[in-house]
């Protein structure tokens, strides 16, 4: 067993040495052990949120696995156990695009493609009609789809918008945070959006 571990460690070192130095430091960015190199900043670092992710005390009335979004606080809480949640900073809908209610996570996508809804195309006819997943896609590294609505919880390639009211109703997170949330959330999870 020890020989097998040493052989694996040697193989891993050879693979790491074959990668560019910038790629070696990025390997940890994806919890699925898939490099997320295209979602890192120009210095090769994971996009840091202006609102640090942290574990906090939280209302025990929400069941573990529930997502609670406070649009007024611009925070998303993923309930990990009774009375405790992981807190993330988020960007929310700008004036006129706010909403609240209860939804369910109906689907999860890695590196999602994006088709702007008709309502958005009416406001912004300059937008592309379709974008495949990747570093330029406005949905970022991951997306959680909320029921049959047009809304999603998704990554963003504009981490400076976290903590702001700038979206068309979707909940934005940094790519680093949405990758973390994605790894925790199950399809069917309850999502409570509060004013």
Q: Which residues are catalytic?
A: 154, 170
Whole-angstrom Cα distance, residue 54 to residue 46?
Answer: 16
For residues 114 and 130, the answer to whether their CB atoms sit within 8 Å is yes
| Cα 49 to Cα 67: distance, rounded to the nearest angstrom | 19
Non-local (6+) Cβ contacts of 48 within 8 A are: 159, 174, 176
Beta strand residue intervals within 112-180, DSSP E: 142-146, 152-156, 165-167, 171-174
């Amino acid at each position: 067993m020890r020989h097998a571990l040493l052989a694996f460690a040697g193989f891993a070192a050879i693979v790491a040495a074959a990668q560019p130095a910038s790629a070696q430091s990025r390997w940890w960015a994806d919890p699925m052990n898939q490099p997320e190199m295209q979602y890192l900043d120009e210095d090769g670092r994971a996009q840091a949120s202006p609102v640090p992710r942290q574990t906090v005390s939280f209302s025990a009335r929400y069941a573990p696995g529930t997502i609670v979004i406070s649009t007024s606080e611009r925070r998303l809480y993923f309930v990990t156990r009774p009375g405790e949640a992981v807190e993330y900073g988020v960007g929310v809908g700008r004036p006129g695009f706010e909403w609240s209610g209860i939804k369910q996570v109906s689907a999860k996508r890695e590196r999602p493609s994006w088709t702007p809804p008709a309502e958005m195309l009416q406001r912004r006819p300059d937008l592309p009609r379709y974008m495949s997943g990747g570093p330029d896609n406005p949905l970022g590294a991951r997306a959680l789809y909320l029921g049959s609505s047009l809304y999603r919880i998704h990554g963003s390639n504009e981490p400076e918008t976290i903590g702001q009211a700038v979206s068309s109703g979707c909940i934005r997170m940094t790519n680093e945070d949405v990758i973390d949330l994605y790894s925790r959330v199950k399809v069917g999870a309850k999502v409570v959006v509060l004013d």
